[in-house]
Amino acid sequence: MDYLFPDSVLLIFCKAPVPGQVKTRLQAALNAEQAATAHIQLTRFTLDRAFRQTLCPVRLYCAPDAGHQFFKQCAKDYPLKLAAQRGADLGERMLNAFAETLTTYRHAVLIGCDCPSLTIDDLHQALEALQSGHEAVFAPAEDGGYVLIGLNAPQPNLFEDMVWGNETVMAETRRRAAAAKLKVYELSMQWDVDDIEGWKRFLRKK
């Protein structure tokens, strides 16, 4: 396959769609089965977008492992490779994914599967920024976190001893990147689907 960025890789983090274990905050309005179905819809939306152009190779990083039938079906439906997330918390899992892939590729961009505001142009922009000399790329989220991170080297300082899932993550990440004197590029503000309002926003967008 001829890629626009053959020396880069897109990493997509995804949980197995097990009812009661994914999108639990949607269960204020949906039942566990419906929340799992929503997770599948968001994942498919993400994969469709990722392959809208042949940007670069894609790896689907699966939790708790790559054995779920949904992941196997994704590997049949899309030209991607499956990998297992490894680590005790989100930071360790992301760091390990970068460490694994940046031995093979020069640049890596990591996203989740619940940010429908990210476009193929955003992904293109992130990869281009890494190729043009930026050492880190972020897409900040409205809730104070980020929905995309791109790196040319693993950068453990961005992941270790971080309190995840709160409104200070992006600010703390910026502070750490500045302390490490990284050349940073930021995409436009994004939104993700964490609660029922985000889910309704996604349904309006479709």
Q: Which of 60, 47, 63 minimizes the C-alpha distance to 11? A: 60
Token pair 């680590």 is at which residue?
87
For residue 64, whether the previous peptide bond is cis, meaning omega lies within 30 degrees of 0, is: yes
% of the chain at pLDDT higher than 70: 100
Asked whether the predicted pLDDT for residue 85 surpasses 80, the reply is yes
Amino acid at 68: H
Task: For residue 139, give every residue at least 6 positions away whose Cβ sits within 8 Å of its Cβ, in sequence order, or none.
Answer: 115, 118, 122, 126, 146, 147, 148, 149, 186, 187, 188, 189, 190
Res 205: pLDDT? 78
Q: Quick check: 48 and 55 in contact, CB under 8 A?
A: no
Select from 3.40.47.10, 3.90.650.10, 3.90.550.10, 3.40.50.620 the CATH code of 8-201.
Answer: 3.90.550.10
3-state secondary structure of 89: coil
Amino acid at 75: A
How would residue 97 be classed by pLDDT, with cut points 50, 70 and 90? very high
Tell me the average pLDDT across 8-23: 97
- pLDDT tens readout for residues 101-154: 999 999 999 999 999 999 999 999 999 999 999 999 999 999 999 999 999 999
Asked whether the predicted pLDDT for residue 206 surpasses 70, the reply is no
Tell me the average pLDDT across 39-68: 97
